[in-house]
Structure 1
């Protein structure tokens, strides 16, 4: 593995075998299991949350200190930290990793999680890696959604486990494996991040990238073709992973190459509204359904974009845009007070 694959200040350890990487993944899952049995730390009130506030953890098997990196051991001894221990970190000290496997975060999903965290509290600790070049700050290794949701919920701290891992391709692979296990890694995340890896020369070819991830080269090739789509187009598909897997997204990418962004957005809306299959979309791309595509009810205009609106995690309507100058807001199931409040805010905004 090339030194350029790691953030400045991190020393790569010897290459690990697949079984060792699997062990690292299992170790993180085991740590999460320990967290579930951890007694809650007393709340800290009346003073700012320091960078590190240790909490108690039941005695249990923890990673072997003999396998620690020198940088992690120095940090751990300085802060009196025990591997696997859950601590409270100030949210302002947490930052995204440049090797985060996730690129897209759906705003509505983050908002729903923020509501849940505000009501239930944080149930699962995130995993972070110290930024040894900037003491007191940490890279997120696992838990980016929770960090964003906690910030949206106006929280000041986050329960964290500090792990020993270099920030680089190795930390990307670990986060990628965790997301795949949870079925939360999307082809759109892969498309953007893998394209950046190749552009930044972390890998010399898509074949080398595929070998490192243990994937078929064709899988990587499809994702890289999807990466040619504008992010605005990908954003429309990210929220519906049930409808836009790699095959469907690939066909949408082909359509975009031939027709451009505006027509592609209309196609995405049609895929959702008419429940088109991948084969039907492939026929449209090949031109076998051109007449059917252009046929529309007289006087009816297709919307270009649609935003679902939720209150308290419940869908109450949507906001649609048509052409360059038309918006349509449709809400139902509101209380009279909420309806009147929304009307006042719209009137105030339009004055």
Structure 2
């Protein structure tokens, strides 16, 4: 990709079309509306020698505020905005501005099994690489692309969208992931550090202003981004235990003790369910990583069951002694939470 293509994306303010600002979900809903309202075109076979779309002959579609590059591509391929087409998987590549960096192997494998059985139910969003015709950057759906490859599929259902490859496409994906609760501090740590290192932003304050975040949030993420990826990978698998505060303390410990000791500390945090305050005491030298004092009266659980919903860890169920259970869940939608609560109440009412 040419450097100018990167620069073009960063000159635009995020989520702006013409003079009107729109949120990420507004854009997604607009695309979904087009998918529902427009007639479907016949799907292509994915062979490189064929046009991208074998479309129904209709009057030219006029789209306001579309870029010149996208308009030229759309006319060349007779593509209607919002149309779902099939593209060869080998033509799809990750965007350098993908907000996600970490993908859990277990989650990808589970999704691959579902896709192999049920097929792809939701189209991904892609952006044409105008510098390399016939290839596309993923704007939304990186996890599905990886799972389709894992399932040995050759094509992917996609909607081709009009976005630059730059901060605008990053911000769109970031906003969507935040609202889906799939964006992690570790994704932010790696990507934001790369933005600073590559001089896309001159300071953490400039980055924070552009993302609409508090500067301290960006500072914590950039601090975590100094960790080796192998250390972050250990924490990514346990989002219920390693939020930004815990990861920040782990990063401080790594700066003083190195990778091997940090990996042992991470195992200790999981095994003994250490709190962030306890880890902070270890970092300050008030306690040993091997012999961490527990609060008086704290009881070690006898058994722990990790709870997953749709392949994502949302908490755990712990048993203590002969008569105690402790259930902790977070990151649920309100409807899902209420549904689980009703089920628990129903179980407790039964004799």
Match of 1:226 among 224, 236, 250: 224
- Quote how far apart the aligned CAs of 1:52 are: 1.8
> 2:171 maps to which residue?
173
TM-score by length of structure 1 reads: 0.74
> 2:74 maps to which residue?
76
Distance 1:174 1:229, change over 3 A: same
Distance 1:181 1:17, change over 3 A: closer
- Say whether the 8 Å CA contact 1:131–1:137 is kept in structure 2: yes
- Quote how far apart the aligned CAs of 1:271 are: 1.1
- Quote how far apart the aligned CAs of 1:286 are: 1.4
Task: For residues 152-196 of structure 1, give each alpha carbon's deviation from its aligned partner in whole angstroms, at most 9, with x where no partner exists.
Answer: 100011110000011011111111111111111111111111111
- Say whether the 8 Å CA contact 2:10–2:167 is kept in structure 1: no
Match of 2:145 among 144, 147, 158: 147
- Say whether the 8 Å CA contact 1:100–1:141 is kept in structure 2: yes
- Quote how far apart the aligned CAs of 1:32 are: 3.4
Could you tell me which runs of 5 or more consecutive residues in structure 2 were left unpaired when the two chains were aligned. Answer: 294-305, 312-351
Greater shift, 272-281 or 225-234, is seen at 272-281
Hey, what's the Cα distance between the residues in 1 that align with 2:94 and 2:122? 18
Hey, what's the Cα distance between the residues in 1 that align with 2:62 and 2:248? 45
- Quote how far apart the aligned CAs of 1:239 are: 1.2
> 1:28 maps to which residue?
28
- Say whether the 8 Å CA contact 1:51–1:90 is kept in structure 2: no
Hey, what's the Cα distance between the residues in 2 that align with 1:22 and 1:182? 18
Greater shift, 116-125 or 218-227, is seen at 116-125
- Say whether the 8 Å CA contact 1:99–1:171 is kept in structure 2: yes
- Quote how far apart the aligned CAs of 1:280 are: 1.4
Aligned positions of 1:1-351 closer than 5 A: 6-7=5-6, 15=13, 20-23=20-23, 25-32=25-32, 35=35, 48=47, 50=50, 52-53=52-53, 65-290=63-288, 293=291
Q: CA RMSD in A?
A: 3.2
Distance 1:195 1:124, change over 3 A: same
- Say whether the 8 Å CA contact 1:5–1:202 is kept in structure 2: no
- Quote how far apart the aligned CAs of 1:76 are: 0.3
- Say whether the 8 Å CA contact 2:10–2:168 is kept in structure 1: no
- Quote how far apart the aligned CAs of 1:278 are: 1.1
Hey, what's the Cα distance between the residues in 2 that align with 1:272 and 1:11? 41
- Quote how far apart the aligned CAs of 1:44 are: 6.8
- Quote how far apart the aligned CAs of 1:270 are: 1.2
- Say whether the 8 Å CA contact 1:95–1:137 is kept in structure 2: yes
Task: For residues 18-37 of structure 1, give each alpha carbon's deviation from its aligned partner in whole angstroms, at most 9, with x where no partner exists.
Answer: 69443454121342366478
Distance 1:34 1:244, change over 3 A: farther
> 2:299 maps to which residue?
none
- Say whether the 8 Å CA contact 2:15–2:172 is kept in structure 1: no
Hey, what's the Cα distance between the residues in 2 that align with 1:20 and 1:173? 16
- Quote how far apart the aligned CAs of 1:53 are: 3.5
- Quote how far apart the aligned CAs of 1:291 are: 7.2
